[in-house]
């Protein structure tokens, strides 16, 4: 006895908790590998675990114990009802970023627009927008060639026609006028390093996470560069750190004095997004 699924998983979960790792992460990986729903899990709780399954579980457990992210173990993460390939060259898409996508979609119709996703990572934002707004012409930029490979593969797998560009922020767009500019840039300050989960600090790409000037460096550059590429009635949507609302609002209000700059909260009640939109009253 002792080799039934629920007993093995319970022991594995307790082991991870003792290592300072979220115990439930082993169940998450196990169910994903089995392609089981929670209902399947309840049906099979008392089944015996095979030797091959035990070996796979032990291997996954060893990685999780080193704070290796579950999504990297599986090679994918789910985002906005699609499955995206991820690896150590890409940030793992977060639920908060789904809210940025939702905001952008809720405020813009399917009329033909040119949309640029800056710092695309896995391509999660760009691809989600394209899947929901087929008439949009979506451009995606990332500074990392390795990251773009993953984004391009995701676009191909999910059948989303995106134009990818390698380069720094808005530079690759040249003379293109953009109707919607959207970005989840690096925004964590070096001071916040110790607050980050160890799995993030150790394994996720630092260039996609951290920025100078208290995490504001990329916003400072985006605000200036956006004045050159934004179409006359264009809009900007940004993800921000929960303490950056006032600072990012100020940067974009200075760059776009005639626009309305809003700071919006995520579902947890934290400042999470900034929207820069034309003031219709000013014409």
Known binding residues for S-adenosyl-L-methionine are 119-123, 142, 184
The closest of 278, 283, 282, 244 to 264, measured between CA atoms, is 244
Annotated binding-site residue numbers? 119-123, 142, 184-187
Tokens of 73: 């173990």
Annotated binding-site residue numbers for substrate? 184-187
In the beta sheet, which residues pair with residue 85?
Answer: 76
């Amino acid at each position: 006895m002792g080799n039934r699924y629920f007993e093995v998983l319970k022991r594995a979960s307790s082991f991870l908790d003792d290592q300072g790792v979220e115990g439930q992460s082993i169940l998450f990986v196990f169910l994903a590998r089995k392609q089981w729903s929670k209902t399947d899990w309840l049906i099979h709780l008392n089944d015996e675990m095979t030797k091959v399954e035990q070996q796979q579980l032990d291997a996954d457990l060893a990685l999780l114990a080193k704070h290796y992210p579950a999504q990297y173990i599986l090679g994918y993460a789910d985002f906005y009802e699609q499955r995206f390939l991820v690896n150590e060259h890409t940030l793992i898409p977060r639920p908060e970023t789904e809210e940025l996508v939702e905001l952008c979609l809720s405020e813009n119709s399917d009329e033909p627009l040119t949309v640029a996703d800056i710092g695309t990572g896995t391509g999660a934002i760009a691809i989600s927008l394209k899947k929901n707004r087929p008439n949009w012409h979506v451009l995606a930029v990332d500074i990392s060639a390795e990251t773009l490979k993953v984004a391009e593969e995701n676009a191909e797998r999910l059948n989303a026609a995106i134009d990818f560009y390698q380069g720094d922020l808005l530079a690759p767009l040249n003379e293109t006028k953009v109707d919607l500019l959207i970005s989840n840039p690096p925004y964590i300050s070096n001071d916040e390093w110790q607050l980050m989960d160890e799995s993030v600090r150790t394994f996720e790409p630092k260039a996609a996470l951290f920025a100078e000037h208290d995490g504001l460096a990329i916003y400072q550059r985006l605000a200036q560069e956006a004045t050159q590429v934004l179409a006359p009635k264009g809009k900007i949507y940004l993800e921000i750190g929960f303490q950056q609302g006032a600072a990012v609002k100020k940067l974009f209000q200075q760059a776009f004095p005639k626009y309305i700059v809003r700071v919006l909260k995520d579902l947890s009640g934290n400042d999470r997004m900034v929207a820069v939109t034309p003031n219709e009253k000013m014409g």
